[in-house]
Structure 1
Amino acid sequence: MSDSLALKETVAARARNIDETFSHLHANPEISWQEVETTKYLAERMQALGLAVTTFADCTGLVAEWGEGKPVVGLRTDIDALWQEVDGEWRANHSCGHDAHMTMIVETVEALIASGYKQPGTLKVLFQPAEEKGTGALKLVEKGVVDDIDYLYGVHLRPIQEMANGTAGPAIYNGAAMFLYGEITGVSAHGARPHLGINAIEVAGAIISGIGQIHINPMVPATVKMTMLQAGGESYNIIPDKARFALDLRAQTNQAMDELVGRVRQMIEGIETSYQASIELTAGSRMVAAEVDEEAKELMEKAIVDVLGVDNLKAAPVSPGAEDFHYYTVERPHIKATMLALGCDLQPGLHHPQMKFERSALRDGVQILSRVIVRTFDKLGENASR
């Protein structure tokens, strides 16, 4: 029996297992850097399959390895949930699809083993924490666990506005994102004597206005917006001297993000001088724009066609959303990587507290990821024999 047919039959037979894995992960979300029980569950699942598992003393997440030696092909999934209000209650919630991503990666390993597949090398599985913070991938890079990986694949559910159920794309061109935090210090005064003070709210207003005057190349999508502002107190007759704010910056390329950050800092310095206020600006997390490898993308295209047919292979979506998966290729350029864009009729949208999707798409995802692993090992084996 061919690898393709064996995998197809194995995944079909595991439909109930896939649903059970998802249900467990969906019901037990944990926020970034606190994925303790999630890490334990995933480690137990991988150990039960005979994989060598590495956990970390200083953080959540794990790495599981099947096989030995070169070449090394990697699978990566994010494991954290968001913290948001759901039906009037603030709690951890898997509204970005990380429960689905984990399910597909776990079940891909299960399917490959159950089908009898024997790979010529090592399959390395990264269960990465803290994607929502934009810092998890860098932590695994720091630990050196990706240094030996030749090809790396990830997956992300796509909203219905981008891709319908039963379709998939071979890459996701995520944009870059950065967060800046600011603290304004003015001078407090009586509300009847504003000329004696420096109103921190007015300074914040000038920053909002200044954002609208920032222009870079209009051919490259880029935005800046103020997403948090806190100022003033319970007494309404006091000119406030303190304000805190946050800025969300997005750009479709890493070069555009560098320019955008420079323009924002320049604008802040001008307002600081104009109002004679102090504005302390601190850089928060930054996520880089996608660096997609064409060879990995081509292998993913072929895997999608294997499973869904050529008519359901769609163009790789360009997304303003950020994803820290791309740090692996930016920090380690030798890694050939791409992410599967999986259509699943996801709605109303990513990060919506009531996000839903068609669960049958999980089986498509497992099939495609299994096929891309097989195709990649085949390609690497052919290259080695030349």
Structure 2
Amino acid sequence: MSFCKLVSFVLILHLLNSCLISCSSSSLTSDGLSQIPQKFLTLAKRDDIFNWMVGIRRKIHEHPELGYEEVETSKVVRAELDKMGVSYDHPVAVTGVIGSVGTGQAPFVALRADMDALPMQEMVEWEHASKIPGKMHACGHDAHTTMLLGATKLLKEHEKELKGTVILVFQPAEEGGAGAKKIVEAGVLKKASAIFGIHVTNLLGLGKVSSRARLLMAGSGRFEAKISGRGGHAALPQFAIDPVVAASSIILSLQHIVSREADPLDSQVVTVAKFEGSDAFNVIPDSVTIGGTFRALSNESFWKLKERIEQVITSQASVHMCSATVDFLEENYPFFPPTVNNEALHQFFKNVSVDLVGIENYNETQPVMVSEDFAFYQEAMPGHFSFVGMQNEAHSPMANPHSPYFEVNEELLPYGASLLASMATRYLLESSSLPNKSYKNDEL
């Protein structure tokens, strides 16, 4: 054999050996960034991990708790973190749990899941339906908590390969209580360079994902108004001042704010969802209470909408010889700012998602008028929020969130867990080229 042939043969053997080592390795290094999501997804679909996640989700679903009441839910979270050997702080923001996986050193990236349920009666009949009357996980927060625990397990199994620290945010009170705001105010995310959150959706097929750069969701607020008149007999309206008629006129006039005053290209919403008066059929009540929500895609439109809601309510009440007081309930339900995704993080999310589920399962969404307290994190640091599909396209359409018939397709759990774990792992590997707050190289 000639010298040249011998050198070529040695080189071929070396390349084959390197390939075999690379293919058999489960390491999560910067040399194989595109392979990380699929490795995590394969691991998350393993029977033992998948069945474990299903069991956790069902346990949480059976015992729903409202905002800042997530005592038992946080116990479930802490018990699983204890089993994994993951350190955490509790309580944070009343019932929240903040864990960490990795080196304990910078860079730091955060993953968030919400834990609270809704005050509504579940109408789905199945073995693991809510056991708490009048409370239900009707928005998928039980799945979000489970997926973050699943991501924690994946990350913990590869902890030695993480190039920084992942902060795990199990947050209370997303449904109006602004738990995210309290988490930020607690100071536990000061070292985080970025934060990621996901939400299940029935509007996408199983395993499909969607999001967009910049504006994603609306800012929102609540209002409650008491319209006072003078009560009397329903058969003698001339001796009363009817607040029901005044309230009816107010509700119709509120709809005109959006339809007649707002730019049609500047989406806004005013919805009256509460109307309370007398329980009797033959009594004109002294007062009526109405309440609802208002939303806008820009802060400027939001504050203008708030101003006009108060003006319309008080003015229309006066037209009908009634008085009105308006409460925007800010103390218990702070206004949510619009959810705005960081552009660089969105491109990062797209890259990870395509590697996870393929370009054919990635979707760019339009802005939507729902709101998310995840926006409070985005005011404090670069952040990105996205949606993961769960609709089994072979079956009838699933119910929308906040419906008593809402269900979760548990087959999505591995997708959510692996997406979260992949974003955290790759962010730490790529952090030098992504949005990054200044930090000191100290321990968490």
Shared fold (TM-score, shorter chain, > 0.5): yes
Task: Confirm or deny: 8 A CA contact 2:92 2:186 kept in the other structure.
Answer: no
Q: Distance in 2 between matches of 1:97 and 1:146?
A: 24
For residue 31 of structure 2, what is the aligned residue in structure 1?
none
Partner of 2:406: 355
Q: Which has the larger radius of gyration?
A: 2
Aligned partners of 2:234 and 2:284 also within 8 Å: yes
Q: Say if 1:170 and 1:339, in contact at 8 Å, map to a contact too.
A: yes
Q: 1:192 to 1:350 in 2, by over 3 A?
A: closer
Task: Map 1:299-314; keep pairs closer than 5 Å.
Answer: 299-314=348-363
Match of 2:419 in 1: 368
Alignment of 1:28-43 (within 5 A): 28-43=63-78
**Counterparts in 2 of 1:243 and 1:7: CA distance versus 1, 3 Å:** same
Shift of 1:90: 3.7
Residue 298 of structure 1, CA deviation:
1.3
2:44 to 5, 11, 30: 11
SS at match of 1:319: coil
SS in 1 for 2:339: coil
Output the CA distance in 1 between the equivalents of 2:413 and 2:134.
25
Q: Which whole-Å CA distance do the structure 1 matches of 2:160 and 2:357 have between them? A: 21
Aligned pair 1:79/2:124, yes or no?
A: no
On the 8 A contact 2:221/2:336 being kept in 1, the answer is yes
Using the TM superposition, give the Cα deviation of residue 233 of structure 1 relative to its aligned residue in structure 2, in angstroms: 4.1
Picking from 287, 291, 294, the partner of 1:246 is 291
What does residue 65 of structure 1 align with?
A: 100
**Cα–Cα, structure 1 residues 274 and 59, in superposed 2: closer, same or farther, change >3 Å?**
same
Deviation at 1:190, TM superposition (A): 4.3
| C-alpha displacement of 1:124 | 0.7
Task: Report the Cα offset of residue 319 of structure 1.
Answer: 2.0
Map of 1:141 onto structure 2: 184
Letter in 2 for 1:240: P
**Partners in 1 of 2:141 and 2:88 — Cα distance?**
20
Tell whether 2:268 aligns with 1:227: no
Deviation, 1:265, is 1.3
Where 1:93 maps in the other structure, the secondary structure is: coil
Instruction: Compare 86-95 and 298-307 and name the one that shifted more.
Output: 86-95
Give the aligned partner of residue 193 of structure 2. 150
Give the strand-richer structure, 1 or 2.
1
- Unpaired runs of 5+ residues, structure 2, are 1-24, 29-35, 125-131, 392-396, 437-444
Counterparts of 1:227 and 1:126, CA distance in 2: 32
After TM superposition, the score normalised by the length of structure 2 is 0.79
Instruction: Find 1:166's aligned residue among 207, 226, 237.
Output: 207
Q: Secondary structure at the match of 1:94?
A: coil
Which residue number corresponds to residue 345 of structure 2? 296
Instruction: Count how many residue pairs are aligned between Structure 1 and Structure 2.
Output: 378
Q: Choose 110-119 or 3-12, whichever is displaced more.
A: 3-12
Query: Which residue number in structure 1 is paired with residue 84 of structure 2?
Result: 49
**Superposition RMSD on alpha carbons, in Å?**
2.3
The one of 356, 380, 384 equivalent to 2:431 is 380
Q: What TM-score do you get using the length of structure 1 for normalisation?
A: 0.91
Counterparts of 1:136 and 1:116 in 2: how far apart (Å)?
28
- Give me the whole-angstrom Cα distance separating, in 1, the residues matched to 2:240 and 2:174: 42
Q: Do 2:92 and 2:183's aligned partners in 1 also have CA atoms closer than 8 Å?
A: no
Q: Is the 8 A contact 1:170 1:304 kept in 2?
A: no
Q: Write the distance in 2 (CA, Å) between the matches of 1:145 and 1:58.
A: 10
